[in-house]
Chain A
Amino acid sequence: MLPGQGWHADLQTVFQSLWPWGGLNGQHPNEQLEEEEEEDLGVWEDDLLPCVSPEVLVLEKRDRPLLLLYADENEQDNKVLREIARCYHDRIDVFTLPSDRKEVLQHVEPFLVGQPSAQARAMFITQHGGLWHAFSYDGSLIFEPLALFVAANLHSQTCPAAYLRPGGFVRHLVEGSQGEILGEGPSQEGPCLLLVTTSLEPPDWFSNVSRIFHPRCKFGLVCEAVLRRCMHVSDKAIDPRSPSNPSNQSYILLFLLPSLEWQKKVGIPGAISSALSSDPKAVQFRGSSDVQAVCGFLSTMMMECRKRRKEKMKARSCADDDSWVGMVYKYGSDYLRKQLREACVSKPEVLNGDNKDAMLISDSGNTRLYIDLSHSAMEHVLREHLACGSRPSEGLALQDIWRKGLPEEIRGRLWAQAVGNAAMLNQEHYHEHIVVARDLVGKGAFMDRASRGKEEGELEDHLRQITLDLERTFPGMYFFSKNGPFHQDLREVLFAFSATRPDLGYVQGMSHVAALLLLYMPACSAYIALVNELDKFHFKDFFLIDVKRIDRYCAAFHVVLLEHSSKLACKLRQIGVDARYRDEAAD
């Protein structure tokens, strides 16, 4: 299917669709594998593994990955072979390769990644997203890289965008890779971060970071032994580990800047590229702050690239103010603006300064690298992600961050950006409405329904109901009670909303949404966010109290409940609780 030349482009599209966190196919391939774990427990106990037969190679009928190994008289090789079979017997089927590979190759060639090799000493055939991929390995059998490769495939089930080379291999965690980062020098597309590891699985934090920065940076695991043999990484780069810091708690990451072509495209400045691209830099991280540290480092790097590009674009045109850079400049605090200006990779002066959020991450050679551990770094990361047009729910780790709660300092701004402003509202709209509200409140007549003329409109009605509800909104917090700091703001935001959306008006329940927004952003932003948010998804239908439309949501909920927890759904039905509003059906 993808043999020979030109497979890069094809693979890229395939890999993109295979990306397990964003792909169309929701099922994690790993789940499939784990269910089938029980079989074939005895395979490896035999000293002699069965030789692969043509029936085994009919891939359409297979449901487990295949590992084919070449066994000969070499005692060492046999040992390796048995070791690997022992490690993975429960996940994969292991067979030996016949001395004549032609028949095997015939079967797997359509799925082979790279060139077919008649000398292949090992083959790993695995399925991703319904498509089989065969990787051949024609070096001598070395346990570590081979096992690492298989494990990475089985455990993380991300993408098969790497293949085995005699000299070594790089295992990529995210899509779009071109196979040989170390063999051919820095990859063509974008920067790459490699974790030097001796373990078979990447630590959680590394996977998280890779998810956050996907797809703007590539990530990979690389075996240290393999790394040392590679031409393009000098010993100096991986030095920080052994002599100076033998602690097991630290990790070595290699940051590879991409080719000059890419740098030109992005507009990376000469100073940085000369500092980093000549030789991959080793960056050392340690302790519990790893995710944040790596994120900070990467965001600083990305930001620099982006900033340069923006400046270039700004020189051409002043448009694109909706970008996060524009947002920060326009609405951000002085602190943020300063951050943006000063975000730079090498800042020796910080070392002596008071900036406690900055951390020295590398002191090798003439270049000192600092990373920013502050919230602003996190904000940059998330803003970047949003600026790419992604929704907050995209990416597992990112979703986690949103759900667990953003740090308070940055919450409001990020919420506002995530909600967006499709309604194109601005401060003037808000002021227009609150002038009316203040006028009405000043007169005070709206509260007294008895003396009110009939000609007075819905707005007074809304204002009356809003006023009644102010103190009843999160009453335990006192923020919105009569003398609370947000009493007036909440009234005005809600009034402005009901004036902006007369079709919705004010509905009880809105006050809680508005109150939450007000806790983290100024009144005008809260108003803009409220109007935009309540126009989304189910909010509109629910606040319109359109029974038919609500019923549709309930029916959908019922189906989902039935699917996920049929027991609960049955029990609820038994006791007469049904989410659906059965109008006539009940009778």
Chain B
Amino acid sequence: MADVRGKNNYKIVLLGEGRVGKTSLVLRYVNNTFSDKQQTTIQASFLSKRINIGENTCNLAIWDTAGQERFHALGPIYYRDADGALLVYDTTDTESFAKVKNWVKELRKMVGQEIVLCIAGNKIDLDKERQVEKSEAEEYAASVGAYHFQTSAKLGKGIEETFLALAKKMIEQRQENDSRQSARRSGGNAPILVVADDTSNGGSGAASGSKACNC
């Protein structure tokens, strides 16, 4: 699957319950627009953005999916070869957070550790109606090796940071994968490197999780 995507192309899939603001997040990030009258997303839509990270330029291909439970079956089509997943919940709706947990389980089971996970609690502008506590969400994110951010598509808060962190991590992950693969191919030194890789890979999830809690 890696040969299909270009060297600097990264695929991100947005998952989460209906009406948590997935489309609004993407539109704020890509076009810097916001409308409180957003159409429902049917099946999925696609947007792309080019960003610079250090010396690297990378293209983010962002797949925005429909949130209704009925479309769950189509999920694999979108996350199958994704580099990263942004799981969105609504901070005013505990049910949507439970749904994020389901997605994490499914992604870890179906795709494994290779996919970079990021959880975003949207609609923090509605702080009065908040039902999902920040600490609770952060704790959970850390436990599954995911970033956690609080966002507001309406106010444009936290979104740049979310995608930037996700992109950085995806680049890192891919470089790791590449070096591991080339190491395997190069033969002689391989055993040592593989061991080293395994440990770093195992630890990276937890490390990034705790790092992410600072927002």
Contacts and interface: CB of A to CB of B under 8 A. Distances in A.
Interface string A460-473: 00000100110111
A469 B40 contact: yes
A471 B37 contact: yes
A505 to B, nearest CB: 7
Interface in A452-484: 465, 468-469, 471-476, 481
Interface stretch (B48-56, B69-77, B194-202): B69-77
Interface of B: 1, 4-5, 18-19, 35, 37-43, 66-68, 70-71, 73-74, 77, 80-81, 94-95
B37 A547 contact: no
B42 A508 contact: yes
B95 A472 contact: no
Q: What are the nearest 6 A-B pairs in CB distance?
A: A475-B37, A576-B4, A509-B42, A472-B40, A508-B68, A468-B19
Contact of A508 (B35, B70, B80): B70
A306 B42 CA distance: 45
Contacts of B94: 450
A177 interface: no
A475 B19 contact: no
A581 B81 CA distance: 12
A508 B39 contact: no
A545 B75 CA distance: 11
B40 A507 contact: no
- Of B66, B68, B77, which is in contact with the most chain A CB atoms at under 10 Å from its CB? B68
A508 B66 CA distance: 8
A473 B70 CA distance: 18
A438 interface: no
Interface of A: 449-450, 465, 468-469, 471-476, 481, 505, 507-509, 511-512, 545, 547, 575-576, 581, 586-587
Nearest to B131: A450
25 contacts: A450-B95, A465-B18, A465-B68, A469-B18, A472-B19, A472-B37, A472-B38, A472-B40, A473-B40, A475-B35, A507-B68, A507-B70, A508-B67, A508-B68, A508-B70, A508-B71, A509-B43, A511-B40, A545-B71, A545-B73, A547-B77, A575-B4, A586-B1, A586-B80, A587-B1
Nearest to A465: B68
Given A472-B39, A476-B37, A576-B5, A547 B70 contact: no
B121 to A, nearest CB: 18
Given A449-B95, A586-B80, A474 B71 contact: no
A472 B66 CA distance: 13
A469 B66 CA distance: 12
B40 A509 contact: yes
A522 B149 CA distance: 47
B40 A508 contact: yes
Contacts of B67: 508
B13 to A, nearest CB: 15
A507 B67 CA distance: 11
A481 B40 CA distance: 13
Contacts of A450: 94-95
A508 B38 contact: no
Given A508-B66, A509-B43, 16 more contacts: A449-B95, A450-B94, A465-B18, A472-B19, A472-B37, A472-B38, A473-B39, A474-B39, A475-B38, A505-B70, A507-B71, A508-B40, A509-B40, A511-B40, A547-B77, A575-B4
A145 B55 CA distance: 79
B70 A481 contact: no
B36 to A, nearest CB: 9
